Structure 1
Amino acid sequence: MRAMLTGAAIGAVMGGLAVGVSAFAWPEASPADARTETYRQLDLFAEVLARARADYVTDFDEAEAIEAAINGMLGSLDPHSSYLSPEDFEAMQVQTSGEYGGLGIEVTMEEGFVKVVTPMDDTPASRAGLESGDLLTAINGNPIVGLNIDDAVKDMRGPPGTEIIVTVLREGQEAFDVTLKREVIRPDSVDWEVKADDIAYFRISTFNERTTELLEKAIAEASRQIDGRPAGIVLDLRNNGGGLLEQAISVSDKFLSGGEVVSTIGRRPSDIARYNARNGEVFKSIPMVVLINNGSASASEIVAGALQDRSRATILGTTSFGKGSVQTVIPLGADRGAIRLTTSRYYTPSGRSIQATGIEPDLEIVQSRVTEDQLEKIRRYSEADLPHALTNEEGAERRMPHMPDEQPPEDYDGDDYQLDRAIEIIHGGQLTAAGQNPNAG
């Protein structure tokens, strides 16, 4: 079994109903009663399937119908639990290994459409201009409504070099088609560059099996180019949709010396764990800024939360996605696929859950100027708005949209305002060696 921090979403919003009873209360059902009810419901399912087999207007694939029923059950639990057919299970293993054929986008489901969580760097999706929050409504002219997320992803993947047309619905625009050519997606999940002669900049786009290894190489190469210790570090986790739990922990470990990184709590004792960093860190005591936005989810939120709570880095950008749960992929045996099941919640070193709320930056700085009308769109793109999303067990809610603390000047003509500000803050001595703003209360 493998712990995952990214998943697909499907379903409809679940509400709550509380009824107060003062004079009468129903007796609690015994375990035997609960089992009897479960068997009754399974009999009901078998009867419905038999009726459909006998009376439906045409023949249908019963295996596909049962698979859809399983997916519907799991999808009703939360946005990230689902069934993986043997083919989907194999594809998932290929993806987490760091190589597969497709478009290069992290996606979820919303209102029956595929929603782009983030386009990966230097892939057909990013080069075609797909953006976080775009809705894909059709693939090669075939409507997506009615597909589950795994089927939609399967349709988007294919042999490298083949073309695919996706229909995109973007807020404020008419639907339009985009033609993309599939490629072997072998994302170098870590990119690096020396900025302003002395700033070590590391960009992590996803957390797959190669991420920590690639980060170690990037750190070594950046050190050689700078010929020593940098003046500061920028870790860019913007539009990083997540990935493997163990990779989030090992990446955090690079910038911490001992102490907690994250803890997880589930129903089983095996799902309760506390993960600590080892002694020793790279670039110790050098000021550090972590960049996040609302496309930063799961594993990237673990890293940002750990470095924020441990006062190792200043978090700059906008509030992250808010996915505070862990999925375990559980194989079901030969030729039966697997299930991706939410098995625990995770907590930052201070014990806080960011489920449905996200990581709030220490310095709220947006990438481009926003108007009051655009704030609602920003709010809607979060875990809290996914169908069947888990609530925050601490009762916390995502902060409502408001005008950001800082926007780019109207005459700004650079390419990356958040990164430019991170470099300015480091060079301006506005961060202590631990990475925090010394003037903050």
Structure 2
Amino acid sequence: MKFAALARSAALVTAVALLPATTAGLARVEGNAGPEFAKLFAVYQRVKASYVEPVEDDVLINGAISGMLAALDPHSAYLDGSDLQRLETMIDGNYSGLGLSVVGEDGAVKVISPFRGSPADNAGIKAGDYITHIDGELIYGLELDEAVAKMRGQAGTSIQLTVFRPGREEPFDVGVTRGVIELEPVTWELQDGNIGHIMVNEFSRDVGSDVFAAWKDLQSQATGRLNGLVLDLRSNPGGSLDEAVALSDLFLTKGQIVSQRGRARGESITYDAETVFRGDIAENLPIVVLIDAGSASASEIVAGALQDHRRAIVMGERSFGKGSVQSLLPLGRDAALKLTTARYFTPSGHSVQEGGIKPDIKVPQLSDPDLASRMKYTMRESDLRGHLINELGIKDEDLENDTRTDPRFQLTAEELETQGIEDFQLHYAVETLRRTNSSAVASRTK
């Protein structure tokens, strides 16, 4: 793999911003850390001399580095070999496999979200599912990279996943046929009533330009002018910080889009409107942004910017709550350090860390027959062991409010199916826009 090419393209918000790694900076160690380094070296010597089997130096050193970073937060990591290749494929959005965004949780593989339209999505895998076995083999306790490698494979080959879904009494098996995951970062369709629906599935290269092209195509399809736009960021785990800024800038004409604040020099940065695209491409058009618990990081930047500037109404469910920035620091040609170096904030100064983006209108996905049971076990950033604490503080009662039942949303999945409604959140957003006039809050800017 050409690491230089990767480094040039990896400004990710999961989020990753590139920082120079200087030899002097890496070599500088505080004097009072000496005794702790002596302890580390003593352990290394004991293991080398007394472990039941010979151990290679690279195994011990890589293990020490991984353990050090794991003690910080869930997103800092040492990347080499296959780990670094996984990052490259995530940036390129082209690989053979299932199409899942997963996280390791206490030795288990937990699904953050399936990519929309992927083999895993088509097979019915849902956010919050635990994958316990692959082809009958228990994967609990494996390193996440090992488990992911087992799920990947040649397109057209089949795999059987054993899934535990919180709320169900028994695990169940799901057969999935691997495919070439050429993620379409942006898809779109014209809804009845000249309502545009643009789905942003992940923030890879050129997403801002792709959304602009989608907008132009929707305009050409419409009979007359478009009457509203749904910007769908559900189950979008994030990606490029630059593309999150570019997408926001399509609909904003002034003010701040996002800021990041860190401890190191150069880590406190402000991103403003009118720096990527000029003007608002949908001026005076009402916009609804859809989010859910799988909307993370870059998705939260866009939703927060449009919400704070009152350019869109945010609907759906509280987002994942990942408000930290990871910097990719090259360590030679074939390794890198992914290190949390900053927090990011919406234009109003709100940190999404832990609490996420709270929708203006909470709309449950009533068309999901497992909604009630899955909501009890929905995973967000605040559930990850070792996550950063929101320095502004999030009150427990604010998160508990999300569980209260809204009397407007009482239909069951079966009742919606008889009405031909397969996606209730999208249906509700489109219906809202059909009833919205040009003076509504979703079409105003400050």
Same fold (TM over 0.5): yes
Once the two structures are superposed, residues 163-205 of structure 1 have per-residue CA deviations (whole angstroms, 9 ceiling, x without a partner) of 3333211112322333323222111111100001400110111
- Does residue 417 in structure 1 map to residue 424 in structure 2? yes
SS in 2 for 1:435: helix
Taking the aligned partners of 1:40 and 1:164, their CA distance within structure 2 comes to 50
Change (3 A) 1:161 1:50: farther
Q: Match for residue 435 of structure 1?
A: 442
Answering whether residue 414 of structure 2 is matched by residue 402 of structure 1, we say: no
Output one character per residue of 1:339-373: Cα deviation in whole Å (capped at 9) or x when no partner. 111111110011111110011111111111899x9
Counterpart contact for 1:364–1:404, Cα < 8 Å:
no
Instruction: Give the structure 1 partner of residue 284 of structure 2.
Output: 285
Match of residue 256 from structure 2:
260
1:5 correspondence with 2:13? yes
C-alpha distance after superposition, 1:204-236 (max 9, x if no partner): 111111422321221111111015531000011
Cα distance in 1 for residues equivalent to 2:367 and 2:70: 37
| Partner deviation per Cα, 1:29-54 (whole Å, 9 max, x = no partner) | xxxxx834423222322222232233
- Partners of 1:269 and 1:35 in 2: CA distance: 18
The residue type paired with residue 84 of structure 1 is L
- 1:30-429 → structure 2 map (5 Å cutoff): 35-171=30-166, 172-278=168-274, 279-335=278-334, 337-368=335-366, 374=372, 377-378=375-376, 380-397=378-395, 399-400=399-400, 401-405=402-406, 406-410=408-412, 411-413=415-417, 414-429=421-436
Find the residue that maps to 2:403 and give its secondary structure: coil
Deviates most, 293-302 or 135-144: 135-144
Q: How many angstroms does 1:430 deviate by? A: 6.5
Question: Kindly tell me: are residues 412 and 115 of structure 1, through their superposed partners in 2, closer, same or farther at Cα, counting changes over 3 Å?
Answer: same
Secondary structure of the corresponding residue to residue 301 of structure 2: helix
**Separation in 1, partners of 2:363, 2:330:** 43
- The structural deviation recorded for 1:141 is 3.9
Q: TM-score, normalised by structure 1?
A: 0.86
Distance change (3 Å), C-alpha of 1:288 and 1:6 = same
Does the residue aligned with 1:302 lie in a helix, a strand or coil?
helix
How far has the Cα of 1:115 moved from its partner?
Answer: 0.9
Q: TM-score, normalised by structure 2?
A: 0.85
Measure, in 2, the Cα distance between the counterparts of 1:197 and 1:203.
18
TM superposition shift of 1:251 = 0.8
1:423 shift after superposition: 1.5
Unaligned runs of 5+ in 1: 9-33
Residue 4 of structure 2 is matched in structure 1 by none
Kept after mapping to 2: 8 A contact 1:7/1:80: no
Return closer, same or farther for 1:225/1:242 CA change in 2, 3 Å cut-off.
Answer: same
Tell whether the 8 Å contact from 1:188 to 1:214 is kept in structure 2 after alignment. Answer: no
Unaligned runs of 5+ in 2: 1-6, 17-28
**Kept after mapping to 1: 8 A contact 2:255/2:273:** yes
Distance between the aligned counterparts of 2:442 and 2:339, measured in 1? Answer: 36
Distance in structure 2 (CA, Å) of the matches to 1:41 and 1:274: 37
CA contact (8 A) 1:84 1:150 kept: no
C-alpha separation between the residues in 2 aligned to 1:43 and 1:111?
30
Q: Which residue identity is paired with 1:307?
A: L
List per-residue Cα deviations over 1:265-287 (Å, max 9, x = no partner). Answer: 01123111110121301111101
Distance 1:140 1:83, change over 3 A: farther
Q: Distance in 1 between matches of 2:154 and 2:71?
A: 33
- Alpha-carbon RMSD across the aligned residues, in angstroms, is 2.5
Any conservation in 1 of the 2:286–2:436 contact (CA below 8 Å)?
A: no
Q: Is contact 1:249–1:303 with CA below 8 Å preserved after alignment?
A: yes
In structure 2, the CA distance between the partners of 1:203 and 1:369, relative to structure 1 (3 Å rule), is closer
Corresponding residue pairs, total: 411
| 1:73 CA drift (Å) | 1.3
Q: 1:433: how far off? A: 4.5
State the identity as a percent: 40
Verify the 8 A CA contact 1:288 1:435 in the aligned structure 2: yes
Cα separation, 1, equivalents of 2:198 and 2:360: 19
AA of the residue aligned to 1:417: F
Match of 2:422, SS state, is coil
Alpha-carbon spacing, 1:328–1:139, altered in 2? closer, same or farther (3 Å)? farther
Between 158-167 and 323-332, report the one with greater CA deviation: 158-167
What SS does the aligned partner of 1:66 have? helix
Q: CA deviation at 1:239?
A: 0.9
CA contact (8 A) 2:367 2:424 kept: no
